Chains A and B, each alone.
Chain A
């Protein structure tokens, strides 16, 4: 067993801040990394040490394995937390980290390779008797044979990049007439995004829910789950609303799905935090989709419902400790809902937006948590994912959690950047969402219900009155404290 005293966080933004917050609570020192121009971001300013990567492309900076390993060695970090995205599911990075004698806070390279390959993982799961969506996962990528396979599966079907994620390189095809074009564009997008244009075909399930199970394993062979999250509400195949528990699961189905999830993690001898994603159809059949071998963006809903700190769990099992709790000690308590705040305009085809955040807001509501990688005055730039923050509310039941989240959203205006904040409010108050009528095509099929409200005269009069009577001038509101704290300039000072 090796105690972790200092961690290099090989990531940025809100997830780096999230890891730093647990590290501080545990007395672990942190090293952050950043690019030129990111000096003011909180993942840089809140870490104990921060190292400039440069100002080149992602490959030269955040994905530069040589540089990251050099930083880890120079700064004597005994472990690397990869966050999500970037190098978190890169097996060769995990292997290199481990071979340098540094702990990789994540699963073994073998698990990453197996689950990172959408074809191999499905073959392995099929052998285990895990239910799969009917489809073609073969190596033969010849167009005529793919058309043949498509006919066998039947339309509608999905074309998916095998190396994909986040909806990139994915297309729905309704008939053989659309197949050729959809295949070409999926392959092109996959090649650009992942450098690999291999695809698989899958039967398209018409009213599916996205249900995933959080699993956790230690190096002593204990494997547990921390129940489900429902993440059916997505746009461009990226989740925007997540919750736990799911209304679609009764105790019997919950038991079946969590049993299957733990069967998977134990059969591959998994280590650390993982998520098994399933598609649930309207007849309560569920199918294995994939396993994410990292901490998920939406992990906070699980943390709030179970009362656990999953980053702490990751660190403890990476040190070689046993899991903090036994399965029967892990309980679901109340309900949690998370929304992802994106810098984008949902009423204009979700077009990403950029700008300077002049007032983000803060929560004053008990049970509302904001995971964010920005502070007032930061720029939201074009270089990274447009997700600005996650707002998560925990309540005694679903209605309570939703109402807290709605009140919470009203405390976060995100002034200065166009966000989906208002659109998220429309989702949270829609009848369909309140009934739990949530499917992965929610955003498209409920478009009408989610369109902006028409403004009535009273509403417009109120807005005009606010505009005419408020005293603040542009200068006062943008006058964010730019005074640096003494800690920024006096680097030799010790705080202990």
Chain B
């Protein structure tokens, strides 16, 4: 059985996952990894791997381990986030609350990946919202000067097929 994980937006597949309260074992890219739990108290977790003890702070889906603050999502939350974006691959979502400062594109415009569609003003700075793929601007939902929440749909793109210049 394959179990999928999303680590920092990278999809990782595990095979032959065996788990009880105190230990876990799985195959990752053909290598077996075995860990046992030493302590899990509030947000602090200590594991044993071979002869080493590993320490991390964990909260919700964030892990602070060694030098990195990582986001690890289980398969369930992965599915949720995927279904949202696959429903509308050309959806351009506002990254944060702010004001629509300038719209640089209009419906029907052909845009390349990375082209600035609009500029959002938030936290006293300007932020460009860029096209996620090549395509045609299908809908724009706001006008300049309007206030928007984070996570709302700002515009949709209709993807066009990629072609390479020869």
Contact = CB atoms under 8 A, between A and B. Distances in A.
Nearest to A476: B42
Contacts of A463: 7, 63, 65, 70, 72
A83 interface: no
Interface of B: 5, 7-8, 10, 12, 14, 19, 22-24, 26, 28-29, 31, 33, 35, 37, 40, 42-43, 45, 47, 49, 54, 56-70, 72, 74, 95-98, 122-128, 150
B82 to A, nearest CB: 18
Contacts of A452: 8
B69 A474 contact: no
Is chain B's binding surface mostly helix, strand, loop or mixed? strand
Contact of B124 (A168, A406, A462): A168
Interface string A398-416: 0000000010001001111
A425 B64 CA distance: 12
Contact of B150 (A354, A384, A385, A425): A354
A457 B97 contact: no
A109 interface: no
Contact of B40 (A348, A385, A416, A471): A471
A413 B62 contact: yes
16 contacts: A352-B96, A359-B59, A460-B5, A460-B7, A461-B26, A461-B33, A462-B47, A463-B63, A465-B35, A466-B47, A466-B65, A468-B19, A469-B37, A469-B47, A470-B45, A477-B60
A327 to B, nearest CB: 39
B62 A415 contact: yes
A329 interface: no
A472 interface: yes
B42 A472 contact: yes
Contacts of A458: 33
Nearest to A423: B69
A472 B7 contact: no
A461 B28 contact: yes
B48 to A, nearest CB: 10
Contacts, number: 150
Given A386-B123, A455-B8, A464-B5, 10 more contacts: A457-B31, A463-B72, A467-B58, A468-B19, A469-B40, A469-B47, A472-B40, A477-B43, A477-B59, A478-B60
A419 B62 CA distance: 12
A413 B35 contact: no
A386 B47 CA distance: 35
A425 to B, nearest CB: 5
Contacts of A422: 67-69
Contacts of B62: 413, 415-416
Contact of A385 (B14, B47, B66, B123): B123
Nearest to B37: A469
- The winner among A413, A425, A461 for most chain B CB atoms within 10 A is A461
A348 B150 CA distance: 16
Contacts of B10: 455, 460
Contacts of A361: 57
B124 A474 contact: no
Given A351-B95, A354-B97, A415-B60, A457 B65 contact: no
9 pairs of A and B residues whose beta carbons are closest in the complex: A415-B59, A413-B64, A465-B35, A471-B40, A461-B33, A470-B45, A352-B123, A469-B37, A467-B72
